[in-house]
Amino acid sequence: MALHLMRKRCGCWGFIRALHTATETARDPKRDGMKRVFSGIQPTGIPHLGNYLGAVESWVRLQDEYGSVLYSIVDLHSITVPQDPATLRQSILDMTAALLACGINPEKSILFQQSQVSEHTQLSWILTCMVRLPRLQHLHQWKAKTAKQKHDGTMGLLTYPVLQAADILLYKSTHVPVGEDQVQHMELVRDLAQGFNKKYGEFFPVPKPILTSMKKVKSLRDPAAKMSKSDPDKLATVRITDSPEEIVLKFRKAVTDFTSEVTYDPASREGVSNIVAIHAAVTGLTVDDVVRQSAGMDTARYKLVVADAVIEKFAPIKNEIEKLKMDKDHLEKVLQLGAAKAKELAYPVCQEVKKLVGFL
């Protein structure tokens, strides 16, 4: 039942009593064996090829494989770097449209905006008080990002892995789809769950990572780096809303090497191997099948074949995004209803956590 309906029926105090009752009656994944998936994505506008193959595509599949699934647009995480408010608001709506167009179904999963559920920050503070500073300073992403920012990283950037842990534990999630670069952060999530349970009694499930089958999609211009929206080279990143002409140009300009044969050898042929991996992912073929079908084809011709496959994959998604972006009210309603559903799960957990740590 959506929260606004509960408020309407029960009135303010009745609503609060109803949520307190939910603390006792809501299904507990840890107790009844239910599996629950949680994952989040920053509102960076329209996803690129790497976002889609590395995360969103598997999210769509997981909706049918697990009984309880939550996907959050993690806008609180996005402000660890400076954001223009108007751009951020639009990016949240754009990401919502993109996720819906890719196949995220609000009837099968809960899609919501992180900042609309205040329990995320409440639990984050409690967990922050349980983690030592050196643990956060030794995380690879903190060191990498502060190096880029010339040691000018914010406290938000330092502590966001704890907020990430709160995002996951707040719903007593049992499984979290992650990429290779998030494995270290998942170790922190698991350690915080175990540390809380040891101090206050068994409460949080210790979530298990679901590693995505697709390795990191690399930049088309620098195969040593992962594909990124912030890449200054506009030819490096393929967005799922790029025009066919843009996609063809980007693949045609993709960095390979001086060997014309199509092979898969990430250690010695990063550029070609990245394109082969993309081709396999968008067609559903294995890498071996892709290489076998490309026998006798030079890399220049092969790049155009892969470009065509990407265009075909993204054409219906691109069209759906354009339609959804024209209906702002619908997108906002999806997020509001999702936040209400998420709140129903988050509130009783957060209340129980407060009780366990000694808050009145």
Beta-sheet pairing, 208-211 with 110-113: unpaired
In the set 172, 218, 226, 343, the catalytic residue is 226
User: Where residue 230 falls among pLDDT bands split at 50, 70, 90?
Assistant: confident
User: Where residue 300 falls among pLDDT bands split at 50, 70, 90?
Assistant: very high
- Burial call 110-120: b when 16+ CB within 10 Å, e when fewer: bbbbbbbbebb
Phi, psi (rounded to 5 degrees) for 48: -100, 180
The contacts of residue 219 (CB under 8 Å, 6+ apart) are 225, 226, 227, 228, 231, 233, 236, 237
Flag whether pLDDT at 97 surpasses 70: yes
**In the numeric block, which tokens belong to residue 238?**
């393929």
- Is residue 145 part of the annotated active site? The answer reads yes
- Is residue 355 part of the annotated active site? The answer reads no
In the set 30, 35, 108, 145, the catalytic residue is 145
pLDDT per position as a tens digit, 100-157: 999 999 999 999 999 999 999 999 999 999 999 988 988 877 777 776 665 567 899 8
Report CA torsion sign: 49, 52, 53, 55: positive
d(CA 300, CA 262): 10
CATH of region 244-325, choose from 1.10.240.10, 3.40.50.620, 3.30.1540.20, 2.70.50.60: 1.10.240.10
Q: What is the pLDDT of residue 150?
A: 58
Extents of the domains making up the chain = 37-216+328-357, 244-325
Helix (H) or strand (E) holding 76: helix 75-78
Given this chain, do its domains 37-216+328-357 and 244-325 carry the same CATH topology?
no
Q: What angle do CA 292, 296, 302 make, to 5 degrees?
A: 80
User: Where residue 19 falls among pLDDT bands split at 50, 70, 90?
Assistant: very low
pLDDT per position as a tens digit, 306-348: 999 999 999 999 999 999 999 999 999 999 999 999 999 999 9
Determine the average pLDDT of the residues in 197-217: 91
Q: Among residues 261, 73, 77, which one has the least CA distance to residue 159? A: 77
Flag whether pLDDT at 7 surpasses 60: no
Q: What is the pLDDT of residue 360?
A: 81
User: For domain 37-216+328-357, is the CATH number 3.40.50.620?
Assistant: yes
d(CA 138, CA 253): 37
Q: What is the pLDDT of residue 147?
A: 66
Flag whether pLDDT at 14 surpasses 70: no
Return the minimum-mean-pLDDT range out of 30-34, 54-58, 92-96, 308-312.
30-34
- Is residue 215 part of the annotated active site? The answer reads no
pLDDT per position as a tens digit, 82-94: 999 999 999 999 9
Flag whether pLDDT at 12 surpasses 70: no
Are 11 and 144 a contacting pair, CB within 8 Å?
no
